[in-house]
């Protein structure tokens, strides 16, 4: 079955780089019109005619998210069929005993508050039968690497929020799922926070024997938002090459 998203509209937060960029490119490649947000990096434009536009957004600011979603919906013809909550990050590796209140709240806000704000506001413009995908992480299951405990905890919250929202939105036939990547190579996340030798060790522990790619994560998203994924909701889909079994 060919995936056809013609006539569908989508918002991908944090869609400028890494996995988020692959989400946006995959959706647009199947015919969707896409708006991506970016914050911590300069916008890298997409090819002309791709159907993808970018808007700067601090997704941790509730008022900014409210204004953005209204504008995005206007740009997309009055509706948001698909929301991918991809914005987030580790920020820094900090051990709990030396962690400041500021760092704690920043990690919670960028990973979980942003997901809540964007979901709440997108629902005002999402028709029945819409699709929501939240980005989780293998860290939600294993507690994460050194200095990432709060990051891991926010991803656990994402999983719980995903399942709760799946229940809440079921009467509207809106599916809500999470994608939980393991080690995905060639991403800003690992290029910034994971030394090359550690990346090699982790990749070697997967059953596949390598790190994943952002596109391989995006392919899972296509299944969930397409006509093939209509009976899947409340699920946390693990994309980790056999590194971890739930």
**Catalytic residue set:** 151
CA 19, CA 137: separation in Å to the nearest integer? 12
What backbone phi and psi angles, to 5 degrees, belong to 212? Answer: -80, 175
CA 164, CA 176: separation in Å to the nearest integer? 9
Of the candidates 71, 158, 72, the one whose C-alpha atom is nearest the C-alpha of residue 110 is 158
CA 123, CA 143: separation in Å to the nearest integer? 31
Question: Are the CB atoms for 175 and 131 separated by under 8 Å?
Answer: yes
| Unique residue bearing structure tokens 């947000």 | 37
CA 231, CA 166: separation in Å to the nearest integer? 12
CA angle at 118 for the pair 240 and 113, rounded to the nearest 5°: 75
What residues have CB less than 8 Å from 2, skipping those under 6 apart?
A: none
CA 128, CA 189: separation in Å to the nearest integer? 34
């Amino acid at each position: 079955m060919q995936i056809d998203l013609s006539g569908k509209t989508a918002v991908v937060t944090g869609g400028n780089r890494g996995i988020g960029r692959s989400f946006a490119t995959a959706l647009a490649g199947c015919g969707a019109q896409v708006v991506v947000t970016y914050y911590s990096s300069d916008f890298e434009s997409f090819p002309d005619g791709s159907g993808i536009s970018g808007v700067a957004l601090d997704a941790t600011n509730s008022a900014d998210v409210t204004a953005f979603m209204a504008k995005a919906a206007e740009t997309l013809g009055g509706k948001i069929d698909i929301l991918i909550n991809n914005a987030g990050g580790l920020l820094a590796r900090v051990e709990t005993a030396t962690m400041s209140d500021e760092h704690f709240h920043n990690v919670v806000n960028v990973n979980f508050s942003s997901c809540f704000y964007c979901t709440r506001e997108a629902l005002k413009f999402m028709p029945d039968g819409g699709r929501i995908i939240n980005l989780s992480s293998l860290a939600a299951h294993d507690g994460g690497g050194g200095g990432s405990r709060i990051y891991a905890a926010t991803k656990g919250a994402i999983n719980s929020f995903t399942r709760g929202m799946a229940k809440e939105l079921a009467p509207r036939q809106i599916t809500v799922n999470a994608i939980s990547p393991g080690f995905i190579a060639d991403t800003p996340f690992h290029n910034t926070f994971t030394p090359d030798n550690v990346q090699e060790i982790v990749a070697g522990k997967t059953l596949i024997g390598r790190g994943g790619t952002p596109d391989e994560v995006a392919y899972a998203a296509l299944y969930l938002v397409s006509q093939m994924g209509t009976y899947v909701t409340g699920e946390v889909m693990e994309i980790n090459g056999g590194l971890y079994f739930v």
